[in-house]
Amino acid sequence: MIVRWGLAELPGVLRELSVSRPLLISTERWRHVQLPVHDRFHGVRAHAEIAGVKAARRRVDERLRAARSFATQEVRRRGRADGRDRL
């Protein structure tokens, strides 16, 4: 295990792990902290009450469904454009 300290290390850690679209799930107090994240959810309550965690998960699930739907539509569109059936 390699341990790194400080938010300044975060960009390097994300690169090493090949995380291209990190999501920050936090309380409101992190809203104005500049971090290299793709998206943020600041609805978690202190001590990670289950309601806040479930709300964050629903938001992530919705975004993943939308991304999968978009990707599927794009593959179909490109397949039609070049005359190949891809799905």
Q: What is the tens place of the pLDDT at every residue in 16-55?
A: 989 999 988 888 888 899 999 999 988 877 676 778 778 8
CA distance 50 to 19: 26
Residue 86 — pLDDT band, cuts 50, 70, 90? low
Which domain covers residue 44, as residue numbers? 7-81
Q: Is residue 2 part of a domain?
A: no
Answer whether 23's CB lies under 8 Å from 41's CB: yes
Q: Rounded to two decimals, what is the model's pTM?
A: 0.47
Torsion angle (degrees, nearest 10) of CA 45, 50, 52, 57: 150
Q: What is the tens place of the pLDDT at every residue in 54-71?
A: 888 888 888 888 888 888
Q: Is residue 46 part of a domain?
A: yes
CA distance 36 to 87: 35
Q: Is residue 87 part of a domain?
A: no
Say what the pLDDT of residue 1 is: 67
| Phi and psi, residue 25, nearest 5° | -115, 115
Structural domain count of the chain: 1
> Between residues 77 and 13, which one has the greater pLDDT?
13
Q: Is residue 42 part of a domain?
A: yes
